[in-house]
Amino acid sequence: MRRFILAHLFCQSLTWLSSLFHVQFNLLTFPYREFPNATDLLVTTEYFFYPTFCAFYIIFESKGNYLFRLIYLSFWITGLTMIDFLIERYTNLIEYAHYSWYWTWVNFVILFAVTNIFYQWFFKDKALFGEDEGVTR
């Protein structure tokens, strides 16, 4: 559970910063928000959904070779990008101003990769986390 929480919180912070950047430079907008007076972001997707998706990817990442791991990452990212594209296309929750689905795909790849690098670095010393051995890796 602590591994999931760490991956979720780290990805959450990256997603939040990335989305703030996109909104600040008018790349995308969120016309309908949960807290319009507090933030220009959609809290449900940017704060809960995407980081949770990222944490599940990190926890269930394959132990195979790099090519298999890259294909596995591509499937996760493509699925998440398709969901984001459908939200943008068929709802008024997200509007792409100077943005497109392929930038979303690249953004998610960077977010997931940086989260994975941090996760691997944080849990690299097995002696500190001995009780978790065998749980995820």
Span 13-40, pLDDT tens digits: 999 999 889 988 999 988 888 787 777 8
104: containing domain: 2-120
In a domain, 134, yes or no: no
Tens of pLDDT along 73-102? 999 999 999 999 999 999 988 888 888 889
In a domain, 66, yes or no: yes
Q: What's the rounded Cα separation, in Å, for the pair 26 and 97?
A: 7
In a domain, 61, yes or no: yes
**Is 88 in a helix, a strand, or coil?**
helix
In a domain, 9, yes or no: yes
In a domain, 132, yes or no: no
Angle, in degrees to the nearest 10, between helices 2-24 and 101-122:
140
Q: What's the rounded Cα separation, in Å, for the pair 131 and 2?
A: 11
In a domain, 128, yes or no: no
Number of structural domains in the chain? 1
pLDDT mean over 126-136: 57
In a domain, 131, yes or no: no
Nearest to 96 by CA among 27, 42, 45: 27
In a domain, 126, yes or no: no
The predicted model scores a pTM of 0.84
